[in-house]
Amino acid sequence: MTRLTYREAVRGALRQILASDPRAFLLGEDVGKYGGAYAVSKGLLAELGPAKVRDTPLCESTFVGAGIGAAIGGARPIVEVMTVNFSLLALDQIVNNAATLRHMSGGQVAVPLVVRMATGAGRQLAAQHSHSLENWYAHVPGVKVVAPATPQDARDLLLAAYADPNPVFVFEHVLSYPLEGEVDETSGAAPLGRAIVRRAGTQLTIVAWGGSLPKALAAAEALAAEGVDAAVIDLRTLRPLDLEAIGASVRATRRLLVVDEGWKTGSLAGEIVAQVVETVFFDLDAPPARVCSREVPIPYAAHLEAAALPSVERIVAAGRGVVRG
């Protein structure tokens, strides 16, 4: 085991992929000489060369489209989009091409593409660069969506995304990059579509993912001090959802709270609640609850940004309400 930051774990997975597969290359804005907007690819250009690490013009529709075309042609590109809001400029390529070509070709055309992007708020990047749009991508059939929360998963889920024959979108929360954790650098790819129980509990199920997981775990500890025993499930994969794991936990605890940094309207949290109500309604002892970002563009001012986002305090209050009414 090696103690690594989330950033270093992603870099290690990229290095392993790029060095071991002649078909693999990384492309995106500033991934080469600059080392990536969040320093994830720092040093890889000097180490592996310009054929493996390719800087692109500032045009997401072009370089995401180039990644799709390269994947169709037999290469294995990993595309880095600087932040999730910039990916909106490539939605036509993503939704109308990457997601549909296998289906529309009757299985003759595959798009084995990985797209990585930073997501979430907390760095005072204001309304332009603080989006959490994972649920937009999780809405689309034909793609898979992962949101690693730990350094180990940052490594293992990227390896899994690369091994998958379908387009996979990897969302890396901006606050996760400096997080440290023990990483087994010899482990294989983590299975896609499998959630994991990060904390066992008997009275409440808290579902979280990505940057919301540390807040959910902290809230569970605070609730424990109040006598509320909460389980915490890390989804890891947002499409496909591990509804079996969520349902099993809810059947045991009989209560559900979902933490989602996205806005509540049209949120992934809402989809999870709906799936639980549809499948295990009669096991519930209380209405499910959600803690989401406030329905406002994310503010620049630090105190307003913090007020807009899910907080440990809001999660604790919601959990207390679900359990005690």
What residue type is assigned to position 298 of the chain? Answer: I
User: Do residues 78 and 28 lie in contact, with contact meaning Cβ atoms separated by under 8 Å?
Assistant: no
Q: Which residue has the tokens 């529709």?
A: 61
> Would you state the pLDDT for residue 40?
98
Domains and CATH numbers, the chain: 2-183 (3.40.50.970), 196-324 (3.40.50.920)
Q: For residue 310, which of 205, 201, 239, 219 has the smallest C-alpha distance?
A: 219
pLDDT in tens, 225-259: 999 999 999 999 999 999 999 999 999 999 999 99
Q: For residue 309, which of 81, 86, 119 has the smallest C-alpha distance?
A: 119
Give one DSSP letter per residue of 115-150, joined into a string: EEEEE---SS-TTTS----HHHHHTSTT-EEE---S
112 Cα distance to chain centroid: 18
Distance CA 322, CA 303 (A): 27
Q: For residue 40, which of 74, 16, 6 has the smallest C-alpha distance?
A: 6
Q: What does the block give as tokens for 220?
A: 């569970």
Would you tell me how many other CB atoms lie within 10 Å of the CB of residue 47? 12
Single out the catalytic residue among 8, 80, 129, 261: 129
Q: For residue 21, which of 158, 163, 188, 161 has the smallest C-alpha distance?
A: 163
Output the CA–CA distances (angstroms, integers) from residue 290 to 33, 56, 201, 202, 269, in the order listed. 42, 39, 18, 19, 7
Distance CA 285, CA 288 (A): 9
Single out the catalytic residue among 29, 60, 134, 172: 60
Distance CA 309, CA 299 (A): 10
- CA torsion through residues 15, 90, 294, 229, sign: negative
> Would you state the pLDDT for residue 325?
82
Distance CA 18, CA 189 (A): 15
Residues whose CB is less than 8 angstroms from the CB of residue 235 and which lie 6 or more positions away in sequence, other chains included: 147, 195, 207, 208, 209, 241, 242
> Would you state the pLDDT for residue 132?
97
Distance CA 158, CA 172 (A): 10
- Tally DSSP H helices, then E strands, for the chain: 13, 14
> Would you state the pLDDT for residue 170?
98
Residues of the chain with pLDDT under 70: none
Q: For residue 116, which of 73, 175, 159, 178 has the smallest C-alpha distance?
A: 159
Could you tell me the pTM of the whole model?
Answer: 0.96
129 noted as active-site residue: yes
161 Cα distance to chain centroid: 12
Distance CA 225, CA 208 (A): 20
Residues whose CB is less than 8 angstroms from the CB of residue 230 and which lie 6 or more positions away in sequence, other chains included: 199, 201, 203, 204, 205, 206, 219, 220, 223, 224, 253, 257, 319
pLDDT in tens, 157-167: 999 999 999 99
> Would you state the pLDDT for residue 66?
97
271 noted as active-site residue: no
